[in-house]
Amino acid sequence: MGDWLQRHRRSLLFMLVVLVLAGLLVALKMPVALFPDITFPRIVVSADSGNMPIAQAQVAVTRPLEQALRAVPGVQRIRSTTARGAAEISVQFAWGTNMTSALLQAESAVNRALPRLPPNTRFSARRMDPTVFPILGLSLTSDRLDSVALRHYAYYDLRPLLLTVHGVAQVDIQGGAQAEYQVIVDPMRLQSYGLSLTDVEHALANSNIITAVGRLQRHYRLYQILSESPLKNARDIGHTILKTGADGVVDLSDVAQIHSGIVPQWTTVTANGKPAVLVNVKQQLGANTVAIDRAIRTLLRQNVDSIPAGVKISTWYDQSQLITAAASSVRDAIFIGAALAALVLLAFLRNLRLTFIVAIALPSVLLASVLILYVLHQSFNIMTLGGMAAAVGLVVDDAVVMLEHIMRRISEHPGERVPVLHSALEMSKPLAGSSAATIVIFAPLAFLSGVTGAFFQALAISISAALIISFLVAYLAVPILADVLLTSRDAERAERPGRLLGWTSLHYGRVLEKLLRRPILLVPILFAFLALGGWSYTQVGSGFMPSMDEGGFVLDYKAAPGTSLVETDRLLDQVQQILAKTPEVASYSRRTGLQLGGGITEANTGDFFIRLKSHRSRNIWQVMQNVRDKINKQVPGLRVETGQLMEDLIGDLTAVPQPIEIKVFGANPQTLEKVAGQVAQRIGKVSGVAEVFNGVTIAGDAVDIHVDPVKAALAGMTPGQVTAQLQGLMEGRVVSLIPQGQEMVGVRVRAPHDLWNEIRRLRQLPIVAPDGHYLALGQIARIQIKAGQAELQAENLKPMVAVTARIEGRAMSTVMGEVKARLAHLSLPQGVYLQYGGLYREQQKAMHELALVLLAAILLVAVLLLFLYERFTIVLSILATALLALGSVFIGLWITGTQRNITAMIGITMIVGIVTETAIFFFAEAQSSGVSELVRAGRVRLRPVLMTAIIAILALMPLALGLGAGAEMQAPLAIAIISGLLAELPLVLVVMPGIYAALEAFSRRMARSSVEKP
């Protein structure tokens, strides 16, 4: 093998160069995103059936849809919310389901149920994936253009321009107004001419005609024959003929006022306190977020002359800023770690050539590993980049171990030409075993489900790719470079220990020899270590995903049920004043009657997105709490919730938007509401619980018009005919469309608002009977105000109310423990029971799966060690050392105040592989269990163990300190690994030899006793 490497060293080095260049090339093409590309197994079906009462909508709309969707293959959970005439049904599938097929099957199931639903029911079904939220949000404001013109520019000019950008899937427009012609009919004047509202509608529809009626072929040409009498403006509408006779012609202007207006809307959209139109850019799955943002900004600069005068385009949200900042911080962490590693190597080896070899190996490994990520369809995101940063120390470890071994072999033969490549082959088995020990622990991560698996599989792939390339580089390229660049003088200088290292090695050997001759001294050390680790475990709270400062947050708000849009706007003006006075706020956008991510919304609800300044004195959690406290104090009657956008996005995509969710199940909605109130009151007293919501959403009050069938029949009408007239008089109907430029402008026919804007006037609203006479609505109907109804929720067709809350300042496990204790003594009515959901349920599931992953990793490492050594004493001593190192992780988490969350658990799992890797190199030196041999092996491994541990710690330090945007996501992982590495030094160099010697002695005694038995 050594001769083969010698013959092919040029081709091997050239192949490495090719891999590095290929990695550099694909790195420029790799998509850049915040998180890995994840297919979330959730579909949302929305249905609209008008304004029927909530209880009726649940029976007529929601239940049939729930039953139809439940039959779709692969459905695990169905959750529904029923509002006035509307239903929203969340359908959860198993992770890994083909969601394209699932969406088609869900749509098919709804279409089959559609004939059983109320007439004119409309539905939509959509997959819930990261593209439902925008990656870029633009706001358009103007002091010159009105809301109609501003929306027209956004929809018909800016939107098509943005859709030309590669990777853009959809551009949504929110806010502004749409033009329409309004025909305000006077019912009394209609009556005087013997006409009805229906006559007006038919006349307008039949007067605006452009229709092809045939074709004519003549003189070698083919003509299309058109019949047209189009309406073009308000004047043409007014000249529409309603009636002719001996007395003359009655046109529309005789009985109605015609003017330009806007489509009725119950929403408000602002940006930084001014009326605005919001342009929300959504990307295709797998698209490059950063590239899309750059392309859009370039396009806007190139088309700046086409922007109307007075229109200001601002950015209210830009996900690429967070992505770029997070990628830059992780990149900087890699560079800082690499620079610190080089300094440590130079300090220990005191040789520039050795440092140069490692400096070549590290970037080569990282760039070549990018090629593997590209082949596996990964992207540059916070998880893959974090994995590469975490792998820096391990990559350097492989190169240092190989170089240190080569140096030692050269120094053992001074003045001779040592075959470097043959010496390198001696490390084949330990190098392969150590790399495999670290890689194999990631294999069980493939079986993780949910968000945890989706996120950390990308991390595992990134680290595994780096370690595979690192092994190949350390095994093939590093020996070749050492053979070319190093001399015996370099080896002698590198192997000559400095004064400090020599003193450390001498005293370490004495301590180890004393412990090996008296193993009983290890017992108090082990006991103290286990006790401190166990106590720390009880003090460290558990959480789910690490919190990350995204640079902006969402503020959801809800006014009292039934609050008008005008009153809601008044309350929100006060909120906007609070935001304007908050020094950390850079900009904000507001939606009322709308939501950033869609969903059932009333005119008294909506959200803000608040973007913060890059440089600020307070972190995002302090700003959120300060804003929320001011609103609660200064704007009574407005309930608010705060959360970061990506945090809310993941919650919405997984249908578990809040950390705390207590589901109250039962049969009676009124009983559920009462119990939910009691639950909310109890958990609200727990420290760390914030933004408690009792789960009961009340729709606004309604004016109920109950048509008396008997009285209506006496007038010659049915309740349905009366209702149709009411709809035409109040809401009006769009009876025709007039083309104007790029859009079709509607013509709406309705009665004046003055006829029905008060209850007393509503009773006098004129209704026309079939015989032409008019009567007041109050003569055939009872009109009264009905209190608002609560929206109805169900899960798997069982009535349910979900009480939700957020957690602030405390660990999830601690808070939930107290919540459960407070609810344990709650007296529940018969048939009512509680279930815990939300992120807590996901966290419990993830922790259970990660515990199994850790167990599987330990078993796989045990199998690998048995394959390498075929000796249980070595295997048990290495595994015992690795398990002892886990205790130090909890000590580190406790000291730093870090929660035992998902990221920390991955770090705990990695420690098993890292400690095993170091232990394998130790046993590569130890040839027997004798005291002198173990001391010699320990002194030989002292310097490389110190070097690699210090390098790995320093490489992870930028991540552990959470420097830069997005670093908080990887901080628990880095802290866990650093804690394990700090314990690795004494454990591998001192404790493990003692355990091994004791096990060998016990094994020999057992062997002798078995021989002595007859």
User: Which of 415 and 243 is assigned the larger pLDDT?
Assistant: 243
pLDDT at res. 313: 92
Q: Answer whether residue 255 shows pLDDT above 70.
A: yes
Q: Answer whether residue 552 shows pLDDT above 70.
A: yes
In whole angstroms, what is the distance from residue 43 CA to residue 102 CA? Answer: 8
Q: What is the pLDDT of residues 958-977, one digit of tens each?
A: 888 876 666 677 888 889 99
Q: Answer whether residue 492 shows pLDDT above 70.
A: no
Identify residue 707 by its one-letter amino acid code. Answer: V
Q: Which among 390, 397, 388 is positioned nearest to 341, based on CA atoms?
A: 397
- The distance in angstroms from the start CA to the end CA of the chain is 50
Mean pLDDT of 916-944: 83
Mean pLDDT of 944-959: 84
pLDDT at res. 854: 85
- Whole-angstrom CA distances from 779 to 195, 483, 722, 727 are 21, 105, 12, 18
DSSP-derived secondary structure for 93-162: E-TT--HHHHHHHHHHHHHHHGGGSPTT-EEEEEE-SGGGS-SEEEEEEESSS-HHHHHHHIIIIIHHHH
Overall fold of domain 42-127: Alpha-Beta Plaits (3.30.70)
Sequence-ordered list of residues with C-beta below 8 angstroms from that of 306, at least 6 positions apart, any chain: 157
pLDDT at res. 1010: 66
pLDDT at res. 120: 82
Q: What is the pLDDT of residues 382-440, one digit of tens each?
A: 888 888 888 887 888 888 888 877 777 777 666 666 666 677 777 778 888 888 888 88
Mean pLDDT of 652-663: 79
pLDDT at res. 28: 84
Ranges 98-107, 176-185, 495-504: which has the least confidence: 495-504
pLDDT at res. 417: 63
Q: What is the pLDDT of residues 579-595, one digit of tens each?
A: 999 999 999 999 998 88
Q: Answer whether residue 106 shows pLDDT above 90.
A: yes
Sequence-ordered list of residues with C-beta below 8 angstroms from that of 315, at least 6 positions apart, any chain: 136, 137, 138, 139, 587, 611
Sequence-ordered list of residues with C-beta below 8 angstroms from that of 453, at least 6 positions apart, any chain: 95, 445, 446, 447, 849
Q: Answer whether residue 375 shows pLDDT above 60.
A: yes
User: Which of 5 and 425 is assigned the larger pLDDT?
Assistant: 425
pLDDT at res. 413: 66
Sequence-ordered list of residues with C-beta below 8 angstroms from that of 371, at least 6 positions apart, any chain: 19, 22, 23, 26
Q: Is the dihedral of CA 442, 443, 448, 453 positive or negative?
A: positive
pLDDT at res. 926: 78
Sequence-ordered list of residues with C-beta below 8 angstroms from that of 658, at least 6 positions apart, any chain: 651, 804, 805, 806, 838, 839
Q: Is the dihedral of CA 944, 989, 365, 418 positive or negative?
A: positive
Tell which CATH architecture fits domain 552-699+791-838. Answer: 2-Layer Sandwich (3.30)
Identify residue 686 by its one-letter amino acid code. Answer: V
In whole angstroms, what is the distance from residue 141 CA to residue 119 CA? Answer: 40
Q: Which among 906, 689, 973, 663 is positioned nearest to 814, based on CA atoms?
A: 689
Q: Is the dihedral of CA 363, 364, 369, 372 positive or negative?
A: positive
Mean pLDDT of 15-24: 87
Q: Answer whether residue 656 shows pLDDT above 70.
A: no
Note if the pTM is more than 0.75.
yes
User: Which of 904 and 499 is assigned the larger pLDDT?
Assistant: 904
Q: What is the pLDDT of residues 782-817, one digit of tens each?
A: 988 887 788 899 999 999 999 999 888 888 888 999
pLDDT at res. 296: 94
Q: Answer whether residue 600 shows pLDDT above 60.
A: no
For residue 284 the two structure tokens come to 């295709």
Classify residue 790 by its DSSP letter: B
pLDDT at res. 294: 92
Give helix then strand counts, H and E, for the chain. Answer: 36, 31
For residue 413 the two structure tokens come to 């033969």
pLDDT at res. 483: 76
Q: Which phi and psi angles does 873 have, rounded to 5°?
A: -65, -40
For residue 698 the two structure tokens come to 């009340």
Q: Which phi and psi angles does 583 have, rounded to 5°?
A: -65, -25
pLDDT bucket at 378, cuts 50 / 70 / 90: confident
Please provide the size of the chain in residues: 1014
Q: What is the pLDDT of residues 258-295, one digit of tens each?
A: 999 999 888 889 998 899 999 999 988 878 888 999 99
Partners of residue 317 on adjacent β-strands: 137
| 3-state SS class at 42 | strand
Q: What is the pLDDT of residues 192-223, one digit of tens each?
A: 888 888 889 999 988 888 888 889 888 889 98
Query: What are the sequence ranges of the domains in the chain?
Result: 42-127, 499-539+871-1003, 552-699+791-838
Q: Answer whether residue 848 shows pLDDT above 70.
A: yes
pLDDT at res. 799: 92
Q: Which phi and psi angles does 12 have, rounded to 5°?
A: -65, -45
pLDDT at res. 1012: 59
Q: What angle do CA 559, 834, 661 make, to 5 degrees?
A: 45
pLDDT at res. 964: 65
Q: Answer whether residue 1 shows pLDDT above 60.
A: no
In whole angstroms, what is the distance from residue 57 CA to residue 960 CA? Answer: 53
Q: Is the dihedral of CA 875, 881, 887, 892 positive or negative?
A: negative
Check if 42-127 and 552-699+791-838 are the same fold.
yes
User: Which of 522 and 176 is assigned the larger pLDDT?
Assistant: 176
Q: Answer whether residue 599 shows pLDDT above 60.
A: no
Q: Answer whether residue 608 shows pLDDT above 80.
A: yes
Identify residue 392 by its one-letter amino acid code. Answer: V
Q: Which among 973, 962, 1009 is positioned nearest to 325, based on CA atoms?
A: 962
In whole angstroms, what is the distance from residue 115 CA to residue 65 CA? Answer: 11
Q: Which helix (H) or strand (E) is 217 found in, with range?
A: strand 209-218
- Judge contact between 180 and 262, C-beta under 8 A: yes
User: Up-side HSE of residue 334: CA atoms within 13 Å toward CB?
Assistant: 21
In whole angstroms, what is the distance from residue 509 CA to residue 522 CA? Answer: 16
pLDDT at res. 416: 62
pLDDT bucket at 444, cuts 50 / 70 / 90: confident
pLDDT at res. 300: 92
Q: For all residues of the chain together, what is the average pLDDT?
A: 85
pLDDT at res. 899: 86
Q: Answer whether residue 635 shows pLDDT above 80.
A: yes
CA 485 to chain centre: 49
The packing angle between helices 319-349 and 289-302, to 10°, is 120
In whole angstroms, what is the distance from residue 62 CA to residue 82 CA? Answer: 7
- Whole-angstrom CA distances from 665 to 670, 676, 834, 838, 845 are 12, 10, 6, 15, 21
Overall fold of domain 499-539+871-1003: Multidrug efflux transporter AcrB transmembrane fold (1.20.1640)
